[in-house]
Amino acid sequence: MKEMTRKTAFPFILLFILLSASTAPTQYELTLYVRRNFGYSGGSQIQGSFTLEATGPENLASVTFKIDEAIVGTVTARPFKVNFNTDSYSMGFHTLIAVGQTAEGQRLTSTPRQFEFVTAEEGLKAAGRIVLPLLAVVGVVLLLSFGVSLLQTFSGKKSALPLGAARKYGLLGGAICPKCERPFSIHWWGFNVFGQKFDRCDHCGQWSLVRRVSRENLQAAEAAEVQLAQPETPIPELSPEEKLKRQLDESRFDER
């Protein structure tokens, strides 16, 4: 019975061993990286100065870097890396590879990587196809910002926010208008001027150079608004008798 149980369990044990071996990480693997120092890289096309870098097991002793069959350099200490410039090679597709050797003499080879070396002119054109649309988007945003600020200026529209009303200042924070001394939210379309913001107050509509102030200062300005919102105590009107008495009192000081 025990013998039959062992025979039945053996296939499962063998399957477990095979699965464990297939999922275990490769101990002796050499990986090649291509990093840009200066120049252009877009997909498989590269131009300029680059670095070839290889990583491998702890016992990796040396790495030889190759472009096609030409040796770029051999490194015998970490970090295993060499520099190269695409202008030193013919234009077109090239195969980049790293060949390493462990301290025990085992040879390791990275997965080949293929890139197309292009001229500087082609690199600039390709980069322009990426950068120019981004610049166009930035230009449109700046024009919209300028247009909004002009519209706000000429429309003269002011905030109808009551004195002392609660408000949120947003991500840019708040400032205090030097004209009306009321706090307002800093606008994204304001102009940066030497660390300050040339912005328009929502309350009085005036443009001023302002700075972002702390929440405590904003709260103090809000409290001051509440004081402004309090109606002034009216001066009581004098009765006819009081008016006559005041006139008599004042007449005593008239010059004869």
pLDDT digits (tens, 9 = 90+) for 92-123: 999 999 999 999 999 999 999 999 999 988 86
- At 55-74, the pLDDT tens digits run 999 999 999 999 999 999 99
**If you average pLDDT over each of 65-79, 184-198, 201-215, which comes out highest?**
65-79
CB-based contacts of 148: which residues, under 8 Å, 6+ apart? 189
Question: What domains lie within the chain, and their CATH numbers?
Answer: 31-121 (2.60.40.10), 162-229 (no CATH)
pLDDT: which is higher, 8 or 228: 228
Predicted confidence band of residue 189 (pLDDT cuts 50, 70, 90): confident
* pLDDT at residue 221 in the model: 86
pLDDT: which is higher, 169 or 152: 169
pLDDT: which is higher, 191 or 152: 191
**pTM for the structure as a whole:** 0.46
* pLDDT at residue 21 in the model: 45
Q: What is the mean pLDDT of the chain?
A: 79
